[in-house]
Amino acid sequence: MKNHIIPFALLTVLAACGQKDNSQKTTEEHQIAMTLDINNFKWTRQPASCTIKNDTIEVVTKPGTDLWQRTYYHFRNDNAPVFQMETAERFFSFVVKTDFTESHHRFDQCGIVMYLDSENWLKGSVEYENGEFQHLGSVVTNNGYSDWATTAIPAQVKTMWYRLSRRDDDYCIECSLNGKDFTQMRVCHMQQGGGKIRFGIYACSPEESSFKAVFTDMKLTECAWKAHDGQQPD
């Protein structure tokens, strides 16, 4: 298995080489009016425990918690705790740093989420697999069916930054090892994601496990995912 792991640093370099500089801004975009206030965040289901101090959120997961709908496995799990704020803002980016040093059991995970309801949501995270590798990936669920897109990264990676960007009902998930250089993980359309949404963080342990996930450096910015500058829309 080790020979099949693509070093994440190499993935970052390759992705950066293919990026275009696009500083053009659409007339629809504007300085975001909302602010990131932790008091605006609410739990959908409680974790085993949670501690919030200054800009650090520590979440301890419960065993048997997960988010998944139908596809391939043919089961449905909808009991992971998510901590989110609500907005109708159409263009913005949300950034957070995750520390999963204590993850130790298969599928332990924490990351970024946009949970609308049980059948419409997306998430990005690193999922523990074993002592050699883990899965950096994302899940998009539209109308009750999930997919899972992943790449293997070394098990030695214990922190990851994520950036979720919104442009109306289209979304982009990016990741970074340093909080500065972000690499695209996913572009997707959310069929129920065009109006008021909720977004934030989550952590869970699908099997018989529990671990502490640490979230820091949360912030909101203008949409870092710029308008496409290539082929024009139909």
User: How does pLDDT run across 28-78, given as a tens digit for each residue?
Assistant: 555 677 889 999 999 999 999 999 998 999 999 999 999 999 999 888 999
Neighbours of 52 (CB within 10 A): 14
| pLDDT tens digits for range 105-129 | 999 999 999 999 999 999 999 999 9
User: pTM (2 decimals)?
Assistant: 0.87
Q: Where are the beta strands (DSSP E) in 13-55?
A: 42-44, 49-53
**3-class SS at 139?**
strand
- Using the predicted structure, report yes or no on whether residue 4 has a pLDDT greater than 80: no
Nearest alpha-carbon partner for 141 in 77, 212, 200, 203 = 77
- Using the predicted structure, report yes or no on whether residue 7 has a pLDDT greater than 70: no
Q: What is the dihedral of CA 34, 39, 41, 46, to 10 degrees?
A: 180
The H or E element that residue 221 is part of is strand 212-221
d(CA 185, CA 224): 14
- Using the predicted structure, report yes or no on whether residue 165 has a pLDDT greater than 80: yes
- Using the predicted structure, report yes or no on whether residue 24 has a pLDDT greater than 90: no
Domains and CATH numbers, the chain: 2-12+33-221 (2.60.120.200)
Q: CB-hemisphere CA count at 13 Å for 66?
A: 19
Torsional class of 72: left (φ above 0), alpha (ψ -120 to 50), beta (otherwise): left
Write down the pLDDT at residue 29.
54
Q: Calculate ∠ Cα 55-59-62, nearest 5°.
A: 170
Write down the pLDDT at residue 234.
83
Q: What is the mean pLDDT of residues 167-195?
A: 98
More confident of the two residues 56 and 2: 56
Write down the pLDDT at residue 43.
97
- Using the predicted structure, report yes or no on whether residue 193 has a pLDDT greater than 50: yes
